[in-house]
Structure 1
Amino acid sequence: MKIFLLEDEKMLQGSIVEYLQSVGYLVDACEDGEDAYEIIKQNRYDLFIFDINTPSIDGLHLLEKIQQQKICTPTIFISAITQIEQITQAYELGCY
């Protein structure tokens, strides 16, 4: 399984990547939404794991852009946000 991780906190990103690789997953990671979009357009992934608050393009808008390209990869959002509006938007976009 190939996973793409968008997480702007380098230590957290490194920990997640290390764990996922240790259990056998292939993982690409990025900390910037615009860079993530370019990478995702050029590759196929089985799962996206996105932080919501990231530079350039946040995780929610990144998922919208990806869906406009007819990419329907399952997506999990990880975030410390507590604003109900952002949480609702994530669920409306089809996240888990």
Structure 2
Amino acid sequence: MDNLVGYVNAVFIVFFILVLVRMLLSWVPNPPYTGIGRTLWDFVHQSTEWYLRPFRKLIPPIGMIDVSGIVAIVVLMVANNVVVRVLDSVVN
């Protein structure tokens, strides 16, 4: 069952990386419109939009800086720690 904790942690890490990539791609002024770049752009956008949208609705940008992504990452990290610790205590 220790593998379960590892798998759940890995899922959180992969999603964390996707959110981080999404935040970095938000600085790219013109996303790619064709080819593999567009496919990857769409994948990252669709994979993270459901999670980031509520944060953007609650937290307005400060000037031209969107801090909602930072808050979303912090919440994701806290959720990761809580879920992994609870699973670890249940398994062990």
TM-score by length of 2: 0.25
Q: Which one scores higher on RCO, CA 8 angstroms, separation ≥ 6?
A: 2
Which is higher, the Rg of structure 1 or of structure 2?
A: 2
Greater fraction strand: 1
